[in-house]
A and B are shown apart, each in its own frame.
Chain A
Amino acid sequence: MYKYIINRILLMIPTLLGAAVLVFFVLRLAPGDVCEMRMAGTGLFADPEAIAICQENLGLNDSKIVQFGRFIGGYFTFDLGISMWTSRPITEEIGLRFKLSMQLALMATILSIIIAIPLGTISAVKQNTWIDYVVRSFSIAGIAMPSFWLGILIILGLLIYTQAWFGTPWMPPITYVSPFEDPLGNLAQLIWPALATGYRYAAVSVRMTRSALLEVLREDYVRTARAKGLLEKVIINRHALKNALLPVVTVIGMEFAFLMGGLVVTEQVFNLNGLGKLFVEAVLNHDYNMTQQLVMLVALIFILTNFFVDLLYAWLDPRIRYA
């Protein structure tokens, strides 16, 4: 087991290096640079000398190899560099957003688990009944509906109904409220985006839980358990569900990793100052340094999530042993 863990950790290095090479060179294929965006992007007079100085100061005139060396070298000196747009340290910029994205991802994950596992189980157990049809419709609607669109509907709904009922329109706060300073304010801000993203996330997990459980319920050992005269509740909870959860855990893990950096539009809709919004701004501004580090961060989150999901498999299914 330990050998497996060490091997997996060592395998992360070439994977991350591959991601680094890819993001570095792909980013530079796009025309334009951060100095053009900063100084000419507004439509105001753009001074070519000022743009040239900016490019020189940011090292954009250096060869690609030198720039790549600086990018990779930063990991050995624990210096991720500065944002080319704001000139602030990248660790500071990402750190600010990380806590919000992490909280939102956790809230959406918890919401989706609370919704998905019971609904998926009921749907499988009551296959082809009206309950199953309702749950399946609910989950298909969740998959079909983009979470940002649901977010827009939520905001508009809140504005319209609070104005109709209380006379004053209300919407979730648009600046970050710390959970340590104002827990209720924090909940009022994040519960809505968590619902919007959690619904889609839950919808995928409901379908996965249902199909996995249906498959398991047809296994020989379940038939044997039934033949033994065990209660259906015991069969589902003790024998079937745990085994059916393997693919569900994979989906939950992948979705969690996605939420950490992939909520690009939902964060804009709710004006959440998270990693997704930072990602969009960095790409649009051609802030190479920031985009590179964000891609690396998301890659690392995906790799680590995969790793922990694999370890979880062993706990869920004792037959799985890693050598």
Chain B
Amino acid sequence: MKRILASMIALGAGAAIGLGAVGASAQTPKSGGILNFVVPSNPPSYDAHQETTFGVIHPLAPVYSLLIKVNPDDPQSSDFICDLCVGGVPEPTENGTVYTFKIRTGVKFHDGTPLSSADVKASWDKIIFPPAGVPSSRKAFYTMVDSIEAPDAETVIFKLKYPSPAFKPALGDPFAWIYSKKDLDEHGYGWHKANINGSGPFIFVTHEAGSSIEGKKNPNYYVEGRPYLDGYKAIIAPKMSLRLQAIRADQAAIEFRGFPPKARDDLVKALGDKITVQESNWNCGNMVVFNTKMPPFDDARVRRALTLAVDRWGGSEYLSKIAIVKTPGGVVFPGHELAATKEELESLAGFWPDIKASRAEAKRLLKEAGHENLTFDLHNRAVDQPYKIVGTWLIDQWKQIGVKVTQKAVPTAQWYDKYRKTRDYQVGLDAGCQSVVNPTVDVSKVLCGSTNNYTQCENKEVQDLYDKMNKEGDKAKVRKMMRRFEKIVMDEEAYVGPALWWYKINPHRSYVKGWKIAPSHYLNQQLDNVWLDK
């Protein structure tokens, strides 16, 4: 079984491994049934515009519509399709600064209110230009937007200050739910924290706090024949072993976040062809962050030596057997057109094909910097998958060049507090996780000066490159700038040392059809195309 599984995994990222589910896509979808799925997280509030957790997305995305969304039939691509708009996603006009969307007619919110462009504008205004005192967690993604207009009931126009490659992917943000303008006007901007009124494929039924959220089929959904399911039940189950056993006992059919390899193997071993496994590169990654204000990590030679010591190619092979990490990569999500190719990666510190030469250079740099007997603490998050596993691996890698490291794993709140407030750490293991693959925005995680970057680095060239990339319409030029950006932050200055990109594994009951794994656990969660082959 292990050999079969290994060969299947070798099929590559994004592969759906159907043990007994061959030809699923060719089957005619059946209507009916309730999809039970497990969610590891408890939703804080119902307002996705202010929340950042998948604990809101998984149970409630099926209730809402978006303006555009990732293609549910090909969520691995950079392809977006219209959800509430009509036709294809429009190409910009006026030198890439104007996007005009035609809005579907006949769409109604679940309370019966007709949906128009005014609702789309009101929702996006709340996201991009929230009134004082109203939190909007992703407002910063839309700094290029100048104004939003709704000249008539079926048209929404986004006017940009400058053309930006980041705009279209940002519009496909899975948190950008469309609310009713009537609700916002009548009940205020806080109403959606505790109330739900969407226009999506499912209607919210009930939420038993801490236990489950249920939705039922929207009979007036605007896509004919959809959704296939009669309803769904999202069961909140924080403990991983229990989520796994729930799938095994068929109390839940799927968990949309992701399991480690061992969990996948256990389920396949127990249930055989009753389980289908889908796997994909994950738009999340761990990276080592060096506190550049803390000696000796203010010395680029020391930082570079530590990244040169890490054998990412070998680590990928070993760690992918036990943890949710796999793919070596640079600052851009692997496989994206802006990502470094293998050849380009191999020219960066820490990705050299010859690890012996890499470690010899690391030792030389440490000697030159006067830190041959370097010791430090690795500030890490007390979470096994993958933080503590990756942390343990890194310590072993650094040991190879004579550096002694102690792992200090602390609970999440303390972990963030050191990064964001006290900043009294030497070296840490950080993680970045994004929803839509949007490289020119996503790299803000390694951008000097960004609130999300904990290295405290200062580098004008890096900041200029970031600004230019976000205002450049020519992809080839963006790609070239991205390589330079990557070279500085990961090699020349080595502010961060990438660990490995995460790897998403979704084993699910084989009777669940229609759902395709995306590169993020935030994407493709409307469930309108999911059906049960029972």
Contact = CB atoms under 8 A, between A and B. Distances in A.
B242 A271 contact: yes
B45 A87 contact: yes
Contacts of A173: 251
A31 B53 contact: no
B347 interface: no
A155 to B, nearest CB: 6
A284 interface: yes
B246 to A, nearest CB: 5
Given A88-B209, A173-B251, A50 B193 contact: no
Contact of B136 (A41, A47, A271): A47
B59 to A, nearest CB: 13
B246 A174 contact: yes
A53 B248 contact: no
A42 B417 contact: no
Interface stretch (A7-15, A162-170, A194-202, A294-302): A162-170
Interface in B385-420: 411-414, 416-418, 420
B444 A45 contact: yes
Contact of B414 (A30, A43, A54, A273): A30
A171 B210 contact: no
A266 to B, nearest CB: 11
Nearest to A44: B52
B237 A271 contact: yes
Given A41-B53, A50-B137, A96 B210 contact: yes
Interface string A26-59: 0000111100111111111111111101101100
A128 interface: no
Given A42-B54, A45-B140, A176-B211, A268 B416 contact: no
Given A86-B44, A174-B246, A286-B413, A42 B238 contact: no
A269 B416 CA distance: 27
B331 to A, nearest CB: 15
A13 to B, nearest CB: 31
A36 B211 contact: no
Nearest to A168: B250
B133 A268 contact: no
A281 B251 contact: no
A71 B194 CA distance: 23
Contacts of B451: 46-48
B139 A50 contact: yes
B304 to A, nearest CB: 25
A269 B412 CA distance: 21
A127 interface: no
A258 to B, nearest CB: 21
A237 interface: no
Interface string A172-211: 0111100000000000000000000000000000000000
Contact of A46 (B137, B193, B431): B137
B83 interface: no
B495 to A, nearest CB: 18
B284 interface: yes
B421 interface: yes
Contacts of A268: 238-239, 242
Given A53-B134, A174-B242, A87 B413 contact: no
Contact of A45 (B50, B141, B416): B141
Interface stretch (B19-27, B358-366, B432-440): B432-440
Centre residue among A36, A50, A169 by max chain B CB count within 10 A: A50
A310 interface: no
A254 interface: no
B411 A269 contact: no
A137 to B, nearest CB: 29
A152 interface: yes
B39 to A, nearest CB: 11
A40 B211 contact: no
Interface in B200-238: 208-212, 233, 235, 237-238
B210 A97 contact: yes
Contacts of A56: 133
Contacts of A86: 42-45, 209
B210 A39 contact: no
B248 A32 contact: no
Nearest to A45: B452
A39 B137 contact: yes
A85 B496 CA distance: 32
Contacts of A271: 235, 237, 239, 242, 246
B416 A40 contact: yes
Nearest to A162: B249
Interface string B181-208: 0000000000001100000000000001
A45 B250 CA distance: 35
Interface in B423-480: 431-435, 441, 444-445, 451-452
A32 to B, nearest CB: 3
Nearest to B214: A175
A159 interface: yes
A92 interface: yes
Contact of A49 (B53, B139, B246, B432): B139
Nearest to A55: B135
B284 A169 contact: no
A54 B209 contact: no
Nearest to B251: A174
Given A175-B211, A284-B412, A42 B251 contact: no
B210 A37 contact: no
Nearest to B252: A174
A96 B50 CA distance: 26
A291 to B, nearest CB: 12
Given A45-B444, A86-B45, A88-B209, A36 B420 contact: yes
A125 B432 CA distance: 65
Interface string B237-272: 111011001101111100000000000000000100
Contacts of A163: 270
B276 to A, nearest CB: 17
B215 to A, nearest CB: 15
A116 interface: no
A47 B420 contact: no
Contact of A36 (B42, B209, B212, B413): B413
Contacts of A43: 284, 431-433
Contacts of A277: 210, 238
29 contacts: A31-B413, A31-B414, A31-B421, A33-B413, A36-B413, A36-B420, A39-B135, A39-B137, A40-B420, A41-B412, A44-B52, A44-B137, A45-B141, A45-B444, A47-B135, A48-B451, A86-B44, A93-B210, A96-B208, A169-B270, A171-B249, A174-B235, A174-B237, A175-B211, A175-B212, A269-B241, A271-B242, A281-B238, A284-B413
Given A30-B413, A97-B210, 12 more contacts: A30-B414, A36-B420, A39-B50, A39-B135, A42-B52, A45-B445, A47-B135, A50-B139, A85-B44, A87-B44, A175-B208, A271-B237
Task: List 4 tightest A-B contacts by C-beta distance, closest first.
Answer: A32-B413, A31-B417, A43-B433, A50-B135
Interface of B: 38, 42-45, 50-54, 133-141, 193-194, 208-212, 233, 235, 237-239, 241-242, 245-246, 248-252, 270, 284, 411-414, 416-418, 420-422, 431-435, 441, 444-445, 451-452
